[in-house]
Amino acid sequence: MATEPATTEFTLDTAQLLAEEEHGRSIVGRSPWYLAWRRLRRNKVALTAFALFVLVVAVSAAAPLYADHVAHTTASANHPTENVKVGSKIVPVISQGGTYTDPKTHELRVKPVNIIGPTWWHAGGKFVLGADENGRDNAVRLLYGGRNSLIVGVGSAFLCTLFAVILALIAGYYGGVADWVITRFFDLIWAFPVILLAIALGAALSINGLHWNLRLFHVNLESGSLWIPTIVISYVLIPYIGRPLRGQILSLREKEFVEAAVAQGAGPLRIMFGEILPNIASSALVFFTLVVANNILLEAALSFLGAGIQDPNPSWGKLISEGQDRILTAPWLTITPGIAIVVTVVALNIFGDGLRDALDPRAKVRIEH
């Protein structure tokens, strides 16, 4: 009895499936990218996850619009002495506290301040998620935090993948001394636990920034720059992508199509980028999606520990760190960025797995450290 392919099957194309999709027409040659897309679009879970990620990106990207037109503030504007109309009540963002002498005990007592909690939509969009201890709008900071976390996550993943691919191509294609030097460089980074190395670099660079003023090469990044966590995170993860790609390239360079290209007189650059790169592109793309999720988590960890994004820029990890002192009385300060991180990372991981299955169902691409 013929077995019907399961609707969730998105790995190997069966002849029956291909014929059905071609609507009875003769089967024509399709590019690997087309085939991958066809497999991916059958994976509804992965597509839903991707849609969720796109939604997170869109909402975060809209932070300035929300801040300007809804909350009427900025991510760093302090409103400690302002009052907000919540429903019919006028509520101070941070109430006037102070100390007084207890008439009975004659001891100094505290009249603690009260910081506004979530107003939801009862204050015209202001302080939807309440305020922090500086009287800043938490919802605005959450959106801007998402923007920064995504910029650092995606930016560092891009840089990391780019450098890893280039180094892997050089090491894998040339071999010999070049391979030895590059693999030792990978080993050097690999020798340190990712988080510890990132904390050390992040903490050092967050004090003085990064300043390289060589004759032809000038880098001047101030301590608060988003480039610093981006560079640190991309640097510490290079071997985790570069090393498996190098392995693939070592195998690919022995293939016939490479020999054919050499025989035709193709130069090293042409072979590396014209022949080998397309064959590792699918792996690199999968690595990229998985690394984005990983980097968002790493950025959150670094910012939580004070070695990532610096004041006054918010990030999800930083918001969790700032909210932890008030976790008993204002848990939403930590829960909301926590949920945002979980949703984004899970969505990216599911999508990344789906992409991996679509691009190369037999590949085992994992980020492990």
Partner 1 sequence: MTPKHKRTWLLSALALVVGFALLAAACGSSKKSSSGTTSSTGTSGGTSQQKTFANFRVVYDTGTDYLDPGLSYTVEGWEAMWNVYLSLLGYKHVNGPDGATLVPALATDMPQVSSDGLTYKLTLRKSLKYSDGSAVKATDFQYAIERDYKVDSPGVGFFSNIVGADQFSKTKKGHISGITANDSTGAITIKLLKPQGDFQNILATIFAAPVPQGTPAKDQSTTPIPSTGPYLIQSYKPNRQFVLARNPQFKALPNVQAGNPDKITVSIVEDDAAALQQVINGQGDYDFHPIPVDRLANVQQKYGSQLKVYTPANTYYFFMNAREKPFDNVKVRQAINYAIDRNALVRLYGGLATPTENVLPPTYPQYKKLNLYPHDMAKAKALLKGTGATSVPITIWGSNRETSKKPVAYLQDVMTQLGFKAKLKIIDAAVYWTTIGNQKTKAQIGFADWFQDYPHPLDWFDVLLNGERITPTHNNNYSNFNDTAVNKKIDDLKKQPTLSDQVNTQWADVDRMVMQQAAWAPYVNRQFTDFFSSRIDTSCYVNHVLYQFDFSRICVK
Touching partner 1, residues 121-140 (CB under 8 A): 133-135
Touching partner 1, residues 336-365 (CB under 8 A): none
**Half-sphere exposure (Cβ direction) of 140: Cα atoms closer than 13 Å:** 26
Measured CA to CA, the distance from residue 288 to residue 355 in angstroms comes to 11
Q: Does 274 bind partner 1 (CB under 8 A)?
A: no
Exactly one of 270, 324, 342, 369 binds partner 1 (CB under 8 A); that residue is 324
Q: Which range, of 22-30, 157-165, 275-283, 318-326, touches partner 1 by CB under 8 A?
A: 318-326
Q: Which range, of 76-84, 192-200, 237-245, 272-280, touches partner 1 by CB under 8 A?
A: 76-84
Q: Which range, of 25-33, 257-265, 294-302, 326-334, touches partner 1 by CB under 8 A?
A: 326-334
What's the gap between Cα 326 and its chain centre?
A: 26
What's the gap between Cα 233 and its chain centre?
A: 10
Touching partner 1, residues 208-247 (CB under 8 A): 222-224
Least Cβ distance, residue 337 to partner 1 (angstroms): 18
Least Cβ distance, residue 199 to partner 1 (angstroms): 13
For residues 347 and 270, the answer to whether their CB atoms sit within 8 Å is: no
Exactly one of 48, 76, 248, 279 binds partner 1 (CB under 8 A); that residue is 76
Q: Which two tokens stand for residue 321?
A: 């760190």
Q: Does 279 bind partner 1 (CB under 8 A)?
A: no
Exactly one of 26, 328, 364, 368 binds partner 1 (CB under 8 A); that residue is 328
Least Cβ distance, residue 88 to partner 1 (angstroms): 24
Cβ distance to partner 1 smaller for residue 64 or 80:
80
Least Cβ distance, residue 82 to partner 1 (angstroms): 9
Cβ distance to partner 1 smaller for residue 20 or 325:
325
Measured CA to CA, the distance from residue 199 to residue 156 in angstroms comes to 15
Measured CA to CA, the distance from residue 49 to residue 86 in angstroms comes to 36
Least Cβ distance, residue 149 to partner 1 (angstroms): 19
**Half-sphere exposure (Cβ direction) of 68: Cα atoms closer than 13 Å:** 5
Least Cβ distance, residue 224 to partner 1 (angstroms): 6
Least Cβ distance, residue 95 to partner 1 (angstroms): 8
Q: Which two tokens stand for residue 369?
A: 């450290």
Interaxial angle between packed helices 332-359 and 32-42, expressed in degrees from 0 to 180 and rounded to the nearest 10: 130
Least Cβ distance, residue 133 to partner 1 (angstroms): 6
- The 79-118 contact track toward partner 1, x by CB under 8 A, reads -xx------------xxxxxx-x---xxxxxxxxx-x---
Specify the residue for token string 């070695």: 307
CA 152 → CA 17, 83, 217, 258, 299, distances in Å?
A: 41, 35, 23, 37, 7
Q: Does 78 bind partner 1 (CB under 8 A)?
A: yes
CA 85 → CA 53, 90, 115, 333, distances in Å?
A: 34, 4, 14, 21
Non-local CB neighbours of 2 within 8 Å, separated by 6+ positions? 16
43 phi, psi to nearest 5 deg: -90, 90
Cβ distance to partner 1 smaller for residue 96 or 251:
96
Specify the residue for token string 């929300």: 66
Specify the residue for token string 């760093």: 76
Cβ distance to partner 1 smaller for residue 68 or 222:
222
What DSSP state is assigned to residue 113?
-
Cβ distance to partner 1 smaller for residue 48 or 74:
74
What's the gap between Cα 50 and its chain centre?
A: 14
Query: Cα 34–35–41 angle (5° rounding)?
Result: 90
Least Cβ distance, residue 313 to partner 1 (angstroms): 9
What's the gap between Cα 137 and its chain centre?
A: 24
Cβ distance to partner 1 smaller for residue 86 or 115:
115
Touching partner 1, residues 183-212 (CB under 8 A): 203, 206-207
Measured CA to CA, the distance from residue 6 to residue 242 in angstroms comes to 36
Binding residues for partner 1, rule: CB under 8 A, are 76-78, 80-81, 94-99, 101, 105-113, 115, 133-135, 203, 206-207, 222-224, 306, 310-312, 324-330
